[in-house]
A and B are shown apart, each in its own frame.
Chain A
Amino acid sequence: MAVLTAAGRRAAEGAGRGGRTTRGGGKRATRVPPVVLAFVLLPLLAEGFFVFWPALQGFYLSLTKWDGISAPQFIGLGNYREMIHDTVFHTAMLDTVLWLALFGGLSALLGLGAALLLQQERRGVGFYRAALFLPVVFSLTATALVWQAMYQPDGLINKTMSGLGLGSLTHPWLADQDTALYAVIVPALWRQVGYVMVLYLAGLKGIDPALYEAAKVDGATRWQQFRHITLPQLRSVNAVVLSVIIIDSLRSFDVVWALTRGGPYHSSELLSTYMYSAAFQSLRLGYGSALAVVIFVLAFGVIASYLIRAFKEAD
């Protein structure tokens, strides 16, 4: 397919040149019209101005001490050295890893589970899919407020627990250091599962039904079919889901910010929230930049593998 299009285009250009009989008709002189060049340069400039140039500055600023008013003062790796002894940074790092594992792992598992359940074209399945997908379109801020109401001492969660005779377990979920992080993960999951489900539904649809028929003829059980057909066939979707999840986890900010601001006592602090408060509340712009670089480093592996995959796909 890729080869075909490339060859086809070359033929098309050949025809175009022949038709217009402008310049000498050199075999491979793929001349790109200046307008077309401008088509690429304009967006590239916009991105360069608002993304690449600031990103480079961000890396530089991580090597400085800066309050945002006087000039930044170069201190080498001082900010990174400070992180080693910064207990809040340690908490934020640990919470980010926990977030990756729990938010990431559970949204992948639940998303796959939901997709397996709802892949069958039965009556009413559209409603169920829509129900799981609906939260995906909410902003994380609105999601957070929805769940904040659920978590209130007199809210539905505690009320239901008392009703079930679990009154001893009722809790100020967001105000307790031991539960705050988990209480914030739940809304994030609630919103993410539908998204992952949609990705898996598309993946499952792409599996050739003949594979299952062959397996059935061979007497394979449901589990064997799942293990030896579904999972291997979903490999490329898994890769997509994995990168989406890691990138989304490291970006997670809104839901934590809206629910706990990283508290109480930094117990639900993520690197992203710590970076924001260090930079814009404590006005330690150099240290904040260094925290952002840490986030970048954590994301780098995923970004690189994603780009390599995209590179192969872009023929």
Chain B
Amino acid sequence: MSVTDTTSGTAADQGARPPAPRRSPRPARRFWGTVAFHTGAGLLSLLWLVPIAVVLITATRSFDDVASHGLGSLPHSFTLGGFRQAWVDGGQQQALINSLLVSIPTVLLSLLLASMAAFALSRYDMPFRRALLLLMLSGNLLPPQILLIPVDKLSEKLGIYDSLYALIGVQVGFGVGFYVFVLHGFMRAIPPEIQQAAVIDGAGPWQIYTRVIMPLARPALAALTALAFTWIFNDLLWAITVLRSEDKMPITASLLGLQGQYVSQWNVIAAGSVIAAAPTVAVFLRFQRHFVAGLNLGAVK
């Protein structure tokens, strides 16, 4: 990209005026351009990273240090006591387990169901194909507020109120429409000849789905897995709507509990925030490419 830019720039300049007198200022100009770029982008990044740095530092300070020197001062201590307090006394260990118990099955189940629907809608001439696709997508676009009260009551009636099953169920139902839409777009682009060959070899729909289309859809599935995991892991609203007991809350809700329980013990609260953010940051760093691809795959979103 930058290569094409510079070459085209010189080509245009050469056409306009003789190149010789412009030789010397050019590298200098490029140098200052680079300096300006790194200054601007560096300051911007710094602005974005400062709050993260503050939390990381606060999490490793002792309570006495924060209390006597203030939150905004440089650290005078180093301890992991805040993490221990958040993890053990603050119940973050259980909360993190709950979050994973919800997120992992939800992601797997949503993507299984969504890939099935997307396969059927993209590879067969279903009646009302487009209408079904949009109906499913529209469910995901609804503001969740309209569902909160009825879902709350529904889970009570089903006897799954205040259980992780309720949370998994509603997360699957609410998310599946979007995943269907994205996967449909991806599967639709798989050349028909591949499926054709499988049909000639006598493969049924189930085999085509498991052996042909799913392996080919892996990039999209990987991207959606990374994306869906962070969405579900980070959810707060559904959790505090269908759950009541402290010991069932996922990490986001338990963070609010920590906030209430350890008022002004900023080292504990900061440590809790770090624990709550760590899993999604790990997913992001490990699957960065998939993650960004996922955001753009769902570009209609």
- CB contacts (< 8 Å) of A36 on chain B: these are 119-120, 124, 126, 205
CB of B300 within 8 Å of the partner chain: yes
- CB contacts (< 8 Å) of B154 on chain A: these are 50, 53-54
Kindly identify, within residues 30 to 60 of chain A, every residue whose CB is under 8 Å from any CB belonging to chain B: 30, 32-33, 35-37, 39-40, 42-44, 46-47, 49-55, 57-59
**A120:B2 contact, CB within 8 angstroms:** yes
The digit string for B161-177, where 1 denotes a CB below 8 A from any CB of A, is 00000000110111011
Kindly identify, within residues 124 to 144 of chain A, every residue whose CB is under 8 Å from any CB belonging to chain B: 124-125, 127-128, 130-135, 137-142
- CB contacts (< 8 Å) of A202 on chain B: these are 296, 299
Kindly identify, within residues 118 to 166 of chain A, every residue whose CB is under 8 Å from any CB belonging to chain B: 118-122, 124-125, 127-128, 130-135, 137-142, 145-150, 152, 154-160
Given A209-B4, A244-B301: A46 touches B113 (CB 8 Å cut-off): yes
A209, B194: Cα distance in complex, Å: 34
CB of B209 within 8 Å of the partner chain: yes
A307, B119: Cα distance in complex, Å: 20
A292, B234: Cα distance in complex, Å: 22
The digit string for B111-153, where 1 denotes a CB below 8 A from any CB of A, is 0011011011101111100101111111111111111111111
CB of B88 within 8 Å of the partner chain: no
- CB contacts (< 8 Å) of B291 on chain A: these are 137
Main SS class of interface, B: helix
The digit string for A241-267, where 1 denotes a CB below 8 A from any CB of B, is 001100100110110011000000000
CB of B256 within 8 Å of the partner chain: yes
**A149:B55 contact, CB within 8 angstroms:** yes
**A149:B2 contact, CB within 8 angstroms:** no
CB of A313 within 8 Å of the partner chain: yes
**A121:B2 contact, CB within 8 angstroms:** yes
Which of A16, A54, A141, A244 interacts with B276 by CB under 8 Å? Answer: A141
A105, B293: Cα distance in complex, Å: 24
The digit string for B42-58, where 1 denotes a CB below 8 A from any CB of A, is 10110011111011001
Which of A12, A40, A247, A271 interacts with B193 by CB under 8 Å? Answer: A12
Given A199-B295, A307-B141: A146 touches B52 (CB 8 Å cut-off): yes
**B49:A310 contact, CB within 8 angstroms:** no
B92 → A minimal CB distance (Å): 12
CB of B20 within 8 Å of the partner chain: no
**A199:B299 contact, CB within 8 angstroms:** yes
A279, B241: Cα distance in complex, Å: 10
- How many A-B contacts are there with CB distance less than 8 Å? 354
Given A159-B70, A195-B295: A43 touches B176 (CB 8 Å cut-off): yes
**B300:A19 contact, CB within 8 angstroms:** no
- CB contacts (< 8 Å) of A306 on chain B: these are 141, 300
**B142:A154 contact, CB within 8 angstroms:** no
CB of B215 within 8 Å of the partner chain: no
What's the tally of chain B residues with a CB closer than 8 Å to chain A?
121
Kindly identify, within residues 263 to 315 of chain A, every residue whose CB is under 8 Å from any CB belonging to chain B: 271-272, 275-276, 279-280, 285, 288-289, 291-293, 295-296, 299, 303, 306-307, 309-311, 313-315
**B192:A19 contact, CB within 8 angstroms:** no
**B141:A35 contact, CB within 8 angstroms:** no
Given A240-B300, A303-B142: A213 touches B236 (CB 8 Å cut-off): no
Can you list 13 pairs linking A and B with CB atoms under 8 Å apart?
A5-B189, A19-B202, A32-B127, A50-B151, A138-B280, A141-B253, A145-B273, A209-B4, A244-B301, A288-B149, A295-B143, A311-B130, A315-B188
Known A9-B125, A54-B146; further 15 A-B contacts with Cβ < 8 A = A36-B205, A40-B117, A40-B121, A50-B174, A51-B174, A54-B151, A138-B281, A141-B234, A145-B255, A146-B54, A198-B296, A216-B9, A251-B144, A271-B145, A303-B138
Query: 8 shortest A-B CB distances, which residue pairs?
Result: A50-B173, A159-B72, A139-B234, A54-B150, A154-B70, A131-B45, A16-B199, A12-B196
Chain A residues at the B interface, C-beta cutoff of 8 Å: 5, 8-13, 15-16, 19-20, 30, 32-33, 35-37, 39-40, 42-44, 46-47, 49-55, 57-59, 61, 68, 114, 117-122, 124-125, 127-128, 130-135, 137-142, 145-150, 152, 154-160, 190, 194-195, 198-199, 202, 209, 212-213, 216-217, 237, 240, 243-244, 247, 250-251, 253-254, 257-258, 271-272, 275-276, 279-280, 285, 288-289, 291-293, 295-296, 299, 303, 306-307, 309-311, 313-315
